[in-house]
Amino acid sequence: MITRISLGLAIAAALPLAAQAHEAAAAATPDSTAAAPAAAQESLVIVRDADTGKLRPATAEEHAALKALPASGKARVALRAMAIGPQLKRHSSGAVGIRVTDDMASQSVVVRGADGKLIEACFASKEEAENFMKSGATAAKTALPTE
Amino acid sequence: MQKTFKKTLLRSAVLAALCGAGLAQAATIVIQSRDPAGVGFNDPTPVAPVGGNPGTTLGEQRMYVYRYVADVWEKALDSNVTITVNAGWQALTCTSSSATLGSASPWNLWHDFTGGDPGTWYPQALANKLSGVNLSEGMPDDGSGYAGVDIKTQFNVNLGQPGCLDGSPFYLGLDGNFGTGVNFVETLLHELGHGLGFTVLSVQTSTGKRISADGSVYADDGLPSIWERYMFDNTAGKSWLNMTSAERKASAINPLGLAWTGPNVLAGAGMLAATPVLKVASSAPGASGQYPYGTASFGPAVSSGQGLGALATIAAPAAGQGQGCTAFSAADTAAVSGKVAIIDRGVCGFAVKAKNAQNAGAIGVIIANNVAGAAPGLGGSDPTITIPTVSVSQADGVKLRSAITASIPYGTRSKPGVATGSLSSDPSRRAGADALGRPLLYTPNPLVPGSSVSHWDVSASPNLLMEPNISPDLGLVLVPPKDLTKPLLKDLGW
């Protein structure tokens, strides 16, 4: 179990991009993250299985081990495991690559306006897209200010 | 379950023959489905062929559109390395009146490969093209199951169902007759554009920081993306390549201030329409001029060449009141009767102001913005409004009023001089471009939600595929005089 948790932590340590993305979201919506139940955070922890090498959700034992960590360390692990982070790649030519995360994908969303018309818009991140949908906002040309 | 959809051997043979003949080669795009049996591309629900899509199941029609759009991109691009697009249909965020349609991104980034600029992040499909090899080939799977793909995409499998933009599913026809549905062709065309590299890629615009060389962190000393090479901020007078993180952060929210300077885009930027302008004529020296204007969603449509009439002002409102928000006083009525009333924005609706002016005998209305920025589009509705209404910026509103005042002495005692407005266009300025004709990137201020930097500005005309909003009048042509997507990708190295 200790080995598995260590591997999980190793993954987390390699994922600061994902962590930063989440921390930025936390800064924008402090209430939602500050009040997030611990269980909800832990359910998002992903570890790399020691036997198969595959990523998978943490087991109950691994959750328990995580709980034993100091609060700061626990939060850091949970935050960094919010998404599978960049994976470093090296090509024989010397080229260096990373695999990105879904959080870094552009998102197309649609909102039905008060007049029934659909407003479609594209955002650079999931966070921006969801904020747009929640606000029913008016980024598109077709949704003009009225005063 | 993974399925791979490939072009026929015949097609490969044709491509090989073309290469052998020394002709330009297109690209090959493989669509790799990750949907399980019965879901997404494998949904067996019977459907009738629609809008040129011959599929007879929902899954077949979805794949037909994917293939159709991939074919558009194949013809637009050149690469000797196959581009792999991983695709899946999933349950994404929904409410009855809103939904995430889908998402896409370059799934791997590379720097310091043969054929690329050193120390610069590139999307994998472009890095492969420039290096001539598949940089991810042979890499062990990283646990994701699709680590080596060039572009990962996912679209909303529930769209149109109860609780997920009820009644407005993806329209899977190819003819643009999407009615109350969502045009999947254009949505996918747009998102694949991002996946191919139409994105700032590795810069976190909220901080201006870049992904570090080892991919571990966003940092002040991270590597630039190839996208940054052609971003020039007219306020800072700097390219993004020469900015600090703080400067990039500020530039990303500098409305109408960030231009694209790539040579291929500049060569095609003449396709952007001449900027519509309000032309003011006056006998007073220095009082004539041309001012960009915005249009209204109410009242009669306006067009270039249309005369408006003599301009007039009304009294400033009482404290806390909005100008033009109530029935005009006798003095204001006398001032605007038979003339075009200039009214400041604020407090009440644009249509309310226009209607009050119309009731006072005005023959037109010019709304002057009450905050800095461009002339706003004027929303609202009132079918009883019959006079034209346009808008100008706050600064130009001041100039118009000055022109009215300056014109008065240039008449007679019984007929004071006037400044007269008409609508025209200025071919020296392009809609969606800066003063030098360089197309602008979308950089909304913090109060306007939007995806900054990785799209064209919404002021572009005609509408462009890679604006943040998917306009209903887009087509499949990616080059001027219809669009600037291909030239921009070419600037990046495509």
Same domain, yes or no: B95 and B177: yes
Peptide bond into B481 cis (omega under 30): yes
Same domain, yes or no: B33 and B150: yes
DSSP sequence for B12-67: HHHHHHHHHTTPPP---EEEEE-PPTTSGGG---B---BTTB--SBHHHHHHHHHH
Alpha-carbon gap: A42 to the closest alpha carbon of chain B (Å): 20
Quote the CA–CA distance of B66 and B76 in Å, as a whole number: 16
Q: pLDDT digit string (tens) for A121-146?
A: 898 878 778 877 776 654 444 456 77
Same domain, yes or no: B357 and B424: yes
Token pair in block for residue B18: 């073309």
- Judged by CB atoms closer than 8 Å, whether chains meet at A121 and B216 is answered as no
Instruction: Name the more confident of B29 and B23.
Output: B29
Q: For residue A9, give the amino acid letter.
A: L
- Which neighbouring-strand residues pair with B112? none
Same domain, yes or no: B174 and B295: no
How many Cβ contacts (< 8 angstroms) between chains A and B? 226
CA gyration radius, chain A: 19
How many domains are contained in chain B?
3
B97 touches chain A (CB under 8 A): yes
Q: Closest to B451 (Cβ–Cβ): which among A17, A128, A130?
A: A128
Residue B399 backbone phi and psi in degrees, to 5? -65, -40
First to last CA, chain B: 32
What is the mean pLDDT of the segment spanning A108-116? 84
Above pLDDT 70, what percent of chain B? 94
Region of poorest pLDDT, from A70-79, B206-215, B347-356: A70-79
Same domain, yes or no: B126 and B31: yes
pLDDT at B101: 95
Q: pLDDT digit string (tens) for B446-488?
A: 655 556 799 999 889 999 999 998 888 999 999 999 999 999 9
Q: Does the pLDDT at position B432 exceed 70?
A: yes
- Judged by CB atoms closer than 8 Å, whether chains meet at A141 and B93 is answered as no
Q: pLDDT digit string (tens) for B311-351?
A: 999 999 988 899 999 999 999 999 999 999 999 999 999 99
B-chain residues near A54 (CB < 8 A): 143
What is the mean pLDDT of the segment spanning B178-202? 95
pLDDT at A142: 43
| Residue ending a domain, choose from B196, B226, B252 | B196
Mean pLDDT (chain B, rounded): 91
> Residue B66: exposed, middle, or buried by beta-carbon count in 10 A (0-12, 13-18, 19+)?
buried
Q: Does the pLDDT at position B73 exceed 90?
A: yes
Token pair in block for residue A29: 């919506």
pLDDT at A86: 59
pLDDT at B217: 87
Quote the CA–CA distance of A50 and B74 in Å, as a whole number: 42
Q: Does the pLDDT at position A6 exceed 70?
A: no
Region of poorest pLDDT, from A49-53, B204-208, B265-269, B486-490: A49-53
Above pLDDT 90, what percent of chain B? 79
pLDDT at A60: 63
Q: Within 13 Å of residue B199, how many CA atoms lie on the same side as its CB?
A: 32
> Residue B470: exposed, middle, or buried by beta-carbon count in 10 A (0-12, 13-18, 19+)?
buried
| Length of chain A counted residue by residue | 147
pLDDT at A36: 26
Quick one: closest CA in B to A12, which residue? B216
A-chain residues near B349 (CB < 8 A): 146-147
Same domain, yes or no: B330 and B263: no
Quote the CA–CA distance of B160 and B165 in Å, as a whole number: 5
Q: Find tokens 């009669």 and name the residue.
A: B300
Same domain, yes or no: B104 and B69: yes
Same domain, yes or no: B326 and B366: yes
Q: For residue B270, give the amino acid letter.
A: G
- Judged by CB atoms closer than 8 Å, whether chains meet at A147 and B107 is answered as no
> Residue B115: exposed, middle, or buried by beta-carbon count in 10 A (0-12, 13-18, 19+)?
middle
Q: pLDDT digit string (tens) for B121-174?
A: 999 999 999 999 999 998 877 777 777 899 999 999 999 999 999 999 999 999
Quote the CA–CA distance of B486 and B2 in Å, as a whole number: 31
| Residue ending a domain, choose from B196, B229, B257 | B196
Q: Does the pLDDT at position B406 exceed 50?
A: yes
Quick one: closest CA in B to A113, which residue? B97
pLDDT at B399: 96
Q: Does the pLDDT at position A116 exceed 90?
A: no
Quick one: closest CA in B to A145, which residue? B379
Q: Within 13 Å of residue B187, how many CA atoms lie on the same side as its CB?
A: 29
Region of poorest pLDDT, from A128-132, B120-124, B219-223, B377-381: A128-132
Query: How distant, in Å, are the alpha carbons of A24, B64, B149, B165, B185 from that of B195?
Result: 24, 19, 11, 25, 15
Quick one: closest CA in A to B178, which residue? A118
pLDDT at B381: 87
Q: Closest to B101 (Cβ–Cβ): which among A20, A104, A109?
A: A109
Quote the CA–CA distance of B238 and B350 in Å, as a whole number: 38
Quote the CA–CA distance of A127 and A131 in Å, as a whole number: 6
pLDDT at A72: 40
pLDDT at B247: 97
Same domain, yes or no: B329 and B362: yes
Torsion, Cα B430 B435 B436 B442, to 10 degrees, reads -70
Can you say whether the dihedral through the CA atoms of B208, A102, A39, A135 is positive or negative?
positive
pLDDT at B118: 98
| Residue ending a domain, choose from B428, B451, B474 | B428
pLDDT at A87: 75
Same domain, yes or no: B33 and B68: yes
Domain residue ranges in chain A: 2-100, 105-135
Helix %, strand %, coil % of chain B (to 5):
25, 25, 50
- Judged by CB atoms closer than 8 Å, whether chains meet at B168 and A111 is answered as no
Same domain, yes or no: B141 and B224: no
Q: Within 13 Å of residue B379, how many CA atoms lie on the same side as its CB?
A: 12
Alpha-carbon gap: A38 to the closest alpha carbon of chain B (Å): 23
Query: How distant, in Å, are the alpha carbons of B49, B57, B447, B474 from that of B190?
Result: 24, 25, 25, 10
- Which neighbouring-strand residues pair with B5? B31
B113 touches chain A (CB under 8 A): yes
- Judged by CB atoms closer than 8 Å, whether chains meet at B93 and A133 is answered as yes
Closest alpha carbon to B75 in B154, B192, B200, B230: B192
- Judged by CB atoms closer than 8 Å, whether chains meet at A98 and B93 is answered as no
Instruction: Name the more confident of B265 and B214.
Output: B265
Instruction: Name the more confident of B229 and B144.
Output: B229
Report pTM. Answer: 0.75
Q: For residue B272, how many other CB atoms are within 10 A of its CB? A: 24
Q: Does the pLDDT at position B416 exceed 60?
A: yes
Pick the residue of B86, B95, B100 with the most A CBs within 10 A to test the interface with A by mutation. Answer: B100
B-chain residues near A130 (CB < 8 A): 93, 100
B-chain residues near A12 (CB < 8 A): none
B-chain residues near A22 (CB < 8 A): none
Q: Does the pLDDT at position A54 exceed 90?
A: no
Pick the residue of B34, B81, B97 with the most A CBs within 10 A to test the interface with A by mutation. Answer: B97
Q: Does the pLDDT at position B266 exceed 80?
A: yes
Quote the CA–CA distance of B154 and B102 in Å, as a whole number: 5
Q: Does the pLDDT at position B53 exceed 70?
A: yes
Closest alpha carbon to B165 in B186, B146, B182, B141: B182
Instruction: Show the beta-strand stretches assigned E in B372-412.
Output: 389-392
| pLDDT interval class at A51 (50, 70, 90) | low
B-chain residues near A132 (CB < 8 A): 449
Alpha-carbon gap: A16 to the closest alpha carbon of chain B (Å): 6
Same domain, yes or no: B257 and B302: no
Mean pLDDT (chain A, rounded): 57
Quote the CA–CA distance of A42 and A58 in Å, as a whole number: 8
Pick the residue of B81, B105, B129 with the most A CBs within 10 A to test the interface with A by mutation. Answer: B105
Quote the CA–CA distance of B175 and B412 in Å, as a whole number: 61
Contact between A62 and A5 (Cβ < 8 Å): yes
> Residue B319: exposed, middle, or buried by beta-carbon count in 10 A (0-12, 13-18, 19+)?
exposed
Quote the CA–CA distance of B157 and B342 in Å, as a whole number: 50
pLDDT at B79: 97
Residue range of the domain that includes B314: 275-428
pLDDT at A132: 79
